[in-house]
Structure 1
Amino acid sequence: MNPGTEPDATTGREAALRNIRPDQRTKARMHASGVLSVWSSARTPQAAVADLVAHVDAALYGQMLAFFPPSMDAEALGREFAAAFPGLPVAGCSTAGEITPDGIAADTVVVLALPRCGFRVVTDVIPDVRALTVESGAATARRLRAALERLCGERPDAAGHRFGLILIDGMSYREETCVSAVAMALDGIPIVGGSAGDGLSFGTTAQLHNGAAFRNAAVLMLVETDHPVEVFRNDNFSPTDRKLVVTRCDPERRIVHELNAEPAAQAYAAAVGVGTGDLNPMRFASHPVVVRIGGNYYCRSIQRVNPDDSLSFFCAIDDGVVLTVARPRDLVSSAEAELSRLDQALGGLDLVIGFDCVLRRLDAARRRIRPRVEELYRRHNVTGFFTYGEQFGGMHLNQTFSGVAIGRPRTH
């Protein structure tokens, strides 16, 4: 990647971006780091990319990150990106809802353009994650890390300035193997990411990499930046004393047939005090189940009830796993505490690339706190998408808010 010229925050172009009227379908925001957020509510790939072209000067940017609704034709979107921005790499995926600098959105294409000046980026794609082995996943990560080293050279202070992003097909059932293999091979580069979504359909997701659309894939990005960064995760639940033991399941498909030797849906419904007819994504969001690993609790979210009263999960599950019914804490207060900590640690937040579980969005809607969530995310410059699962380090998680926080440029 060749260094470019850092955008001047006082230029008329950027002033115009800041003053785009709210009634326009395309909006943009320039961050102090030079990252440009652009989002369009256009309904076709052609119109959406045409909107982006009006705001993105390709000469200034070295990488684009795109999050798009499942209603958007991924193949056509990839072709439009390639034609409109030749030579400018694009990585991205479909979502279960988008997060823009204006708040929570749907049917919106959200793009983060990373400038050539201040960011060095390498990307790759794992095209068939269902066939992935630990060895093949690690090999891809090692190759990409070597490419970053060649691009950046030796940098003794690289810690705190590098991070990895991974976007995995959320219906592949292979997130655990993929992220653990990649994290193992990155040798200390912290990694975070989200599972691509398909709205609330749970059918097929899409991944983008350099003009091509993929299914059953993972896109991996490694970044070194001049700015301070920190990856994070945050949740909002506390364990109760109600336990459910997985007594019969299909681990490959993440389906639990029995809990406590009873039909899974019936046992879960009884544990949370409702009837099986009341089980839906909103109920699962309000009553998560968690597992204890190494002294910490991690969510294992339920995706849906099946006709045979089995339960499909978003995360890996196995016979003998002890699930604990959890009690949600205030989502906004929990996220605000973490974002405030990051703001202080980094000397001010310039941008947060965030991956938020779709069940948290549903829970926020049910509890009528969506406006509070939006205000919090706007205040801390969160941009990203709602996921079918979140990655943090070598783990695949559910019902969490994870991401990478980028600090404001430091003056010397």
Structure 2
Amino acid sequence: MIEGTRMRTHLCGIQSAWTDAADARQAVAAVAALLDRQAVGHLLVFFSPAYDARDLVAAVAEHCPGVSLLGCSTSGGISPAGAIDRGLVAIAFPRQGFRIASAALTRIDHLDVGDAASTVRGLRRHLDQIRPEAASGSQFALSLIDALANAEETVVSAVAWALDGIPLVGGSAGDDLAFSGTVLIHDGAIHTNAAVLILVETDFPIRIFKSDNFAPTQRKFVVTSASEENRRVHELNAEPAAWEYARAVGLDPQHLTPMSFAAYPLAVKVGGEYYCRSISRVEPDGSLTLFCAISEGAVLTLAEPHDIVEATRAELSGLDATLGGLDLVIGFDCVLRRLDAESRQVRHRISDLYSRYGVVGFETYGEQYRSMHLNQTFTGIAIGRNHPA
């Protein structure tokens, strides 16, 4: 865990800052003191669920008046100096070199897909209106979604469709594995049961990416009983879900923990490719609640993890080569990857990679990549060092 408050100014003009201050007002004051606030147009924050969101919003209004505030609570922050178990990570977008439009989708547990698509198209029109005449930058979209609304798949599907090819990445807000309540912020307003969409155009080279470190085994499970509305699996292979899963991985069903789920993920095959459908917790009745949508009849495959450090290094080094040098990575990393890295005693090596390649972001309850909602994955947007001509 890092100590104190630090910041970095990236070549693209983005300023990233981070602190492990004990409360929201202290955190904002510490970060604001380091930023060149006159250059900031939008402030994206990822913060500890222990913070009072109202205090955070008020402190930003006090220290950074006129700056658009966006963000969410997390299950841990990522900074170039290391992981933050408690604190605040801030990404300050400059007024120059980036054009940004954002919106909040509310009541996402009963999302009106048509309205959501219309909102996204409105963001695209707004971006067209604020673009300088000579600009021809690349566009990408970021999503922050309340994981406890169980609506990521619906949101991502509607948004990706309306984006019409603009790449989307993002993360589901967390609350330190308490599963009691997450918080999102859009333009200083506090939301739950919501999603924040951020459409960005930049003059700098970009790439979106996703990375995981698992491979499918031959062990299969059929979901024979499920409550689809709350992502709960009651039976696998016509047996109590927790018992059948524990038997397959050689564990006592009474001692299943998030560490167990991180070490032995489940995956589903879509379009010839496997995607994680991770377990979040065991319920008192022996059912399993997942981080992703699940349906009866779905076939789940037990996956085995490979070297998480090597997989992450390969992804970041590939992006570095493709972009001619990485300036900044805004990353969304599944909290289960952190737990897996901790259990294998390699979390410090992951932090070293994030520091080397300038990764800033947060640990999530789920990740978004294009039109997919994923688990146990590292996704994000990489920004290159090459300054536009």
Query: What is aligned with 2:44?
Result: 65
Counterpart of 2:153, as a letter, is E
> Aligned partners of 2:359 and 2:63: how far apart in 1?
26
1:391 equivalenced with 2:368 (yes/no): yes
Paired residue secondary structure (2:245): helix
Query: What is aligned with 1:13?
Result: none
| Aligned ranges 1:4-153 → 2 under 5 Å | 25-152=4-131
> Aligned partners of 1:231 and 1:121: how far apart in 2?
17
Per-residue CA shift, 1:92-150, capped at 9, x if unaligned? 00001010110111111110111111111111111221121221221111111111111
Counterpart of 1:48, as a letter, is A
Contact 2:99 2:131 (C-alpha < 8 Å) held by counterparts: yes
Query: What is aligned with 1:271?
Result: 248
Q: 1:154 to 1:244 in 2, by over 3 A?
A: farther
Runs of 4+ with deviation above 6 angstroms = none
Superposition deviation, residue 47 in structure 1? 1.1
Query: What is aligned with 1:167?
Result: 144
Per-residue CA shift, 1:328-384, capped at 9, x if unaligned? 010111111111111111110000000000000000000000111111111111010
| Aligned ranges 1:6-405 → 2 under 5 Å | 25-152=4-131, 157-158=136-137, 161-405=138-382
Counterpart of 1:297, as a letter, is Y
Per-residue CA shift, 1:265-318, capped at 9, x if unaligned? 001011111110231100000000100000000000000001110000000000
Counterpart of 1:78, as a letter, is V
> Aligned partners of 2:240 and 2:133: how far apart in 1?
57
> Aligned partners of 2:192 and 2:112: how far apart in 1?
18
> Aligned partners of 2:72 and 2:102: how far apart in 1?
14
Contact 1:196 1:388 (C-alpha < 8 Å) held by counterparts: yes
Q: 1:79 to 1:411 in 2, by over 3 A?
A: closer
> Aligned partners of 1:333 and 1:244: how far apart in 2?
29
Contact 1:92 1:209 (C-alpha < 8 Å) held by counterparts: yes
Contact 2:3 2:20 (C-alpha < 8 Å) held by counterparts: no
Paired residue secondary structure (1:316): coil
Counterpart of 1:198, as a letter, is D
Per-residue CA shift, 1:151-188, capped at 9, x if unaligned? 11677854xx2110000001110000001101100111
Q: 1:129 to 1:23 in 2, by over 3 A?
A: closer
| Farther-moved stretch of structure 1 (356-365 vs 39-48) | 39-48
> Aligned partners of 1:216 and 1:83: how far apart in 2?
27
